[in-house]
Amino acid sequence: MLKLILLSTAIFFSAFAQDNPCPTTQWKYDETSNSCFLPSKHHSTFTDATTYCSGFNSTLVVIHSQQIETAVNTIVYYEDSRSVWWIGLQRSSPQGNFTWVDGTPLNYTDWQSGQPSNTLGANCVGVFLKSGLTGGWQNVPCVQQQPFICFIPNAVALPTSNPKLCPPGTYQGPSGSIQSPNYPANYPNNADCYYLITVAAGYKVNITIVSFRTEYCCDWAYIHDGNAESSPYLASLRGVVPAGTSYKSTGQFMLVHFTSDESTNDTGFNMTYTAVAN
Ligand SMILES: *[C@@H]1O[C@H](CO)[C@@H](O)[C@H](O)[C@H]1NC(C)=O
Ligand SMILES: *[C@@H]1O[C@H](CO)[C@@H](O)[C@H](O)[C@H]1NC(C)=O
Ligand SMILES: *[C@@H]1O[C@H](CO)[C@@H](O)[C@H](O)[C@H]1NC(C)=O
Ligand SMILES: *[C@@H]1O[C@H](CO)[C@@H](O)[C@H](O)[C@H]1NC(C)=O
Ligand SMILES: *[C@@H]1O[C@H](CO)[C@@H](O)[C@H](O)[C@H]1NC(C)=O
Ligand SMILES: *[C@@H]1O[C@H](CO)[C@@H](O)[C@H](O)[C@H]1NC(C)=O
């Protein structure tokens, strides 16, 4: 239950996030799934809802995981828990298979009991809450007018690390640590690693050096205030940086980029981060 409360808080605080990566502040950013959601209470047919979402280069929501399902159910719960809400699942006829509007495979389902039904014309799918945040899918006629949710997955494009050399690239708050490859052993030559740290919307990332040793001329760690390489620099670090030095983002993201050149290496770095409110 705590998890759901935190998620709903994160979703509903997102309008205030300085770093909301979604198209407009009406969209809600869920950092757990790195997705943007736009609820619309304008009751629409499935086709009209689809057209509306495509105006934002988005689709009706496509659900491939429990995380997305939870985000959808949370939105429905707070916005209008008595309606069926369109999701981006449909079939061409009662004999056809259900397919997602973005063409991705149907590899996760949450049908309500007795669903999908064979009712004539019931070729489009909506989510309906039965109690609290618990709900499921049902197929209904596509011409029904219902609220809907537009969706943009993978809202933040992470620059790609060299996967053979680098630790995992994404880190979720509220606290954790990042290390150079092989730490505390020496990092390899020609490393090119990105670390995207995300904390809940409304919070900031406070990162602290535990240890930092690199080749002074040529092996750098860049700390960006945001989620992209184009985001402003908080620091460009090399050589020895004293333990306890800390840097703070202005929004919910911090991107660290580490590069080493083709010769000479050292132990690299260990840094810890926490989500802070101010
Ligand atoms: C949608 O994508 C196209 C092509 O990338 C772009 O030109 C257009 O500006 C985008 N529209 C919106 C509303 O983002
Ligand atoms: C529906 O899916 C099944 C199993 O994947 C497949 O055998 C069948 O051909 C599909 N039917 C249609 C109409 O695409
Ligand atoms: C289902 O397919 C989507 C899109 O291809 C993919 O991103 C997702 O990881 C898959 N989920 C599972 C549980 O296989
Ligand atoms: C560290 O540098 C030495 C000397 O340049 C090199 O031989 C060694 O392979 C490097 N270590 C790694 C892990 O790349
Ligand atoms: C960030 O972390 C450092 C080291 O733990 C601490 O001294 C500093 O007060 C923190 N800053 C904020 C704004 O919490
Ligand atoms: C990084 O530093 C933290 C804080 O001192 C420590 O708990 C953690 O074990 C260190 N990580 C590694 C891989 O040494």
Q: In this predicted model, what pLDDT tens digit does every residue of 61-103 receive, in sequence order?
A: 999 999 899 999 999 999 999 999 999 999 998 889 999 999 9
**Residue range 29-49: average pLDDT?**
93
Distance between CA atoms of 259 and 166, rounded to whole angstroms? 11
pLDDT band at 53 (very low <50, low <70, confident <90, very high): very high
Distance between CA atoms of 2 and 13, rounded to whole angstroms? 16
Burial of 232 (0-12, 13-18, 19+ CB in 10 A): exposed
105 lines ligand 3 (CB under 6 A): yes
pLDDT above 50: residue 205: yes
Mapped onto helix, strand or coil, the DSSP state of residue 45 is coil
Residue 39 sits in the same domain as residue 109: yes
Indicate the top mutation candidate among 27, 57, 58 to test ligand 1's pocket, ranked by most ligand atoms within 8 A of CB: 57
Distance between CA atoms of 29 and 52, rounded to whole angstroms? 19
Rounded to the nearest whole angstrom, what is the distance from the C-alpha of residue 193 to the centroid of ligand 4? 17
Q: Report whether 78 contacts 71 (CB < 8 A).
A: no
Distance between CA atoms of 87 and 43, rounded to whole angstroms? 13
Distance between CA atoms of 65 and 75, rounded to whole angstroms? 16
Residue 272 sits in the same domain as residue 174: yes
Rounded to the nearest whole angstrom, what is the distance from the C-alpha of residue 151 to the centroid of ligand 2? 27
Residue 181 sits in the same domain as residue 146: no
Scan for tokens 């618990």, then name that residue.
134
112 lines ligand 6 (CB under 6 A): no
Do the strands 220-224 and 253-259 form a parallel or antiparallel pair, or are they unpaired? antiparallel
**Residue range 146-172: average pLDDT?**
87
Ligand nearest to the CA of 64: 3
Ligand nearest to the CA of 68: 3
The last residue of a domain, from among 152, 182, 198? 152
User: Cα dist. 238→211, 222, 254, 260, 271 in Å?
Assistant: 12, 9, 18, 10, 14
The last residue of a domain, from among 120, 152, 184? 152
Is residue 100 in a domain?
A: yes
Higher pLDDT, residue 16 or 118? 118
175 lines ligand 5 (CB under 6 A): no
**Residue range 198-202: average pLDDT?**
84
Distance between CA atoms of 126 and 137, rounded to whole angstroms? 6
pLDDT of residue 101: 97
Domain extent at residue 34? 2-152
pLDDT band at 19 (very low <50, low <70, confident <90, very high): low
Q: Report whether 106 contacts 166 (CB < 8 A).
A: no
Distance between CA atoms of 137 and 112, rounded to whole angstroms? 5
